[in-house]
C-alpha cells in the first residue's frame, strides 16, 4: 500500500513537471510569434495610414486584408495562451473567496473604451440584495466574464445594448450577459462551444476571432463545477448564462 502511494506521488510529480514544461514551451513560442506579428502589424498599419506614401485602391484593399489576417493570428495566439493557462492551471487553480460584484465592475471599466468606440451601451443590473462571496479562481472567472462581454460587444451593431446581470438563485450565483446582436442560428447551437468553431454569421460580422473563446469559457466554468448555456432572445440577440455553486468543495 505504502509502495503504491509512493509510486502515485512520483507519477503526480512527473505529470506536474511535464505540464510545466508544456506551459513554458507554449509561453516561449507565443512570445516569439508575437514579436514577428507585432512587426507585421505595425508595418501594415503604416501602409494603411499611408505613412509611406499613397496606395492605389487595390493595394489598399490587399494591405487591409493582410492586416486583418495578421490580427486573426494574434487573436489565435492570445486565445491559445488563455486556453493553455485554463487547462494547465486546473492542477493548481487558486480558489479563494471573491466579491463578484467588484470583479464585474472592474471588467466593465476595462471595456469602457471599446463601448464608447462602438457606441454600445453597457449596463450592469446589480443584485438587489448583497451576495455571498464566491469561492473561485479570480483570474479565470475574470476570463469568463471578459469573454462573454467581449462577444456581446463584438456581435452587436453600433448603438446596441449589452446588459450584464448578477444574482443569486438558490445555491448558485448566476451571471448573465444579454446582447441585442446577431443571435445564434438554430443550426449552430450544437457547435457553438466546440474548439475552433465559428458560426458563419459570426465570421461575417467579425473577421477576427479564433473560435476558442467559448470553448475556453466553458472549460473554466466546468472546472468550477458550474454550468453555461444560452438562449436566443425574442426580438433578436442572445443571453448567455453562467451558474456557479456558491459552496464549492474544492
Residue 41 interacts with another protein (CB under 8 A): yes or no: yes
Residue 146 interacts with another protein (CB under 8 A): yes or no: no
Which neighbouring-strand residues pair with 240?
A: 177, 230
In the 8-state DSSP scheme, what is residue 131?
A: P
Q: How far is CA 76 from CA 34, 88, 137, 161, in A?
A: 11, 18, 23, 27
Please state whether beta strands 121-125 and 161-169 pair in parallel, antiparallel, or not at all (unpaired). Answer: parallel
> Binding residue for another protein (CB under 8 A) from 6, 7, 45, 189?
45
> Binding residue for another protein (CB under 8 A) from 78, 90, 115, 165?
78
Residue 74 interacts with another protein (CB under 8 A): yes or no: yes
- Which range binds another protein by CB under 8 A, 40-48, 119-127, 172-180, 186-194? 40-48
Residue 199 interacts with another protein (CB under 8 A): yes or no: no
Q: Confirm if 178 and 239 have CB atoms less than 8 A apart.
A: yes
Min dist. Cβ of residue 57 to another protein (A) = 22
Q: Confirm if 246 and 132 have CB atoms less than 8 A apart.
A: yes
> Binding residue for another protein (CB under 8 A) from 37, 55, 80, 246?
37
> Binding residue for another protein (CB under 8 A) from 60, 64, 139, 165?
139
Residue 26 interacts with another protein (CB under 8 A): yes or no: no
Please state whether beta strands 172-179 and 238-245 pair in parallel, antiparallel, or not at all (unpaired). Answer: antiparallel
Min dist. Cβ of residue 38 to another protein (A) = 4
Instruction: Return the closest-CA partner of residue 153 out of 128, 116, 200.
Output: 116
Q: How far is CA 87 from CA 57, 80, 140, in A?
A: 45, 10, 10
Of the pair 151, 238, the CB lying nearest another protein is at 151
Q: Confirm if 216 and 143 have CB atoms less than 8 A apart.
A: yes
Residue 83 interacts with another protein (CB under 8 A): yes or no: no
> Binding residue for another protein (CB under 8 A) from 35, 56, 57, 234?
35
Instruction: Return the closest-CA partner of residue 45 out of 74, 75, 70, 28.
Output: 70
Residue 109 interacts with another protein (CB under 8 A): yes or no: no
> Binding residue for another protein (CB under 8 A) from 39, 91, 125, 250?
39
Positions in the binding site for another protein (CB under 8 A): 27, 30-31, 34-35, 37-39, 41-43, 45-46, 49, 51, 74, 77-78, 81, 85, 139
Amino acid at each position: 500500500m505504502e509502495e503504491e502511494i509512493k509510486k502515485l506521488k512520483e507519477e503526480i510529480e512527473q505529470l506536474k513537471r511535464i505540464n510545466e514544461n508544456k506551459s513554458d514551451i507554449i509561453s516561449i513560442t507565443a512570445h516569439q510569434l508575437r514579436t514577428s506579428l507585432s512587426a507585421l502589424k505595425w508595418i501594415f498599419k503604416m501602409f494603411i495610414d499611408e505613412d509611406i506614401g499613397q496606395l492605389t485602391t487595390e493595394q489598399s484593399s490587399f494591405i487591409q486584408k493582410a492586416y486583418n489576417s495578421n490580427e486573426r493570428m494574434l487573436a489565435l495566439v492570445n486565445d491559445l495562451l488563455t486556453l493553455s493557462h485554463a487547462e494547465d492551471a486546473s492542477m493548481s487553480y487558486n480558489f479563494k473567496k471573491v466579491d463578484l460584484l467588484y470583479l464585474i465592475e472592474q471588467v466593465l471599466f476595462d471595456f469602457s473604451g471599446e463601448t464608447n468606440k462602438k457606441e454600445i451601451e453597457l449596463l450592469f443590473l446589480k443584485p438587489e440584495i448583497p451576495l455571498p462571496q464566491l469561492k473561485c479562481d479570480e483570474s479565470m472567472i475574470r476570463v469568463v466574464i471578459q469573454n462573454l462581454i467581449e462577444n456581446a460587444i463584438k456581435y452587436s451593431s453600433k448603438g446596441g445594448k449589452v446588459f450584464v446581470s448578477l444574482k443569486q438563485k438558490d445555491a448558485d450565483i448566476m451571471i448573465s450577459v444579454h446582447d441585442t446582436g446577431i443571435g445564434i442560428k438554430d443550426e449552430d447551437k450544437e457547435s457553438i462551444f466546440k474548439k475552433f468553431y465559428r458560426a458563419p454569421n459570426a465570421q461575417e460580422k467579425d473577421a477576427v476571432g479564433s473560435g476558442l473563446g467559448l470553448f475556453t469559457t466553458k472549460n473554466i466554468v466546468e472546472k468550477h463545477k458550474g454550468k453555461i448555456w444560452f438562449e436566443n432572445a425574442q426580438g433578436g440577440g442572445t443571453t448567455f448564462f453562467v451558474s456557479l455553486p456558491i459552496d464549492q468543495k474544492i
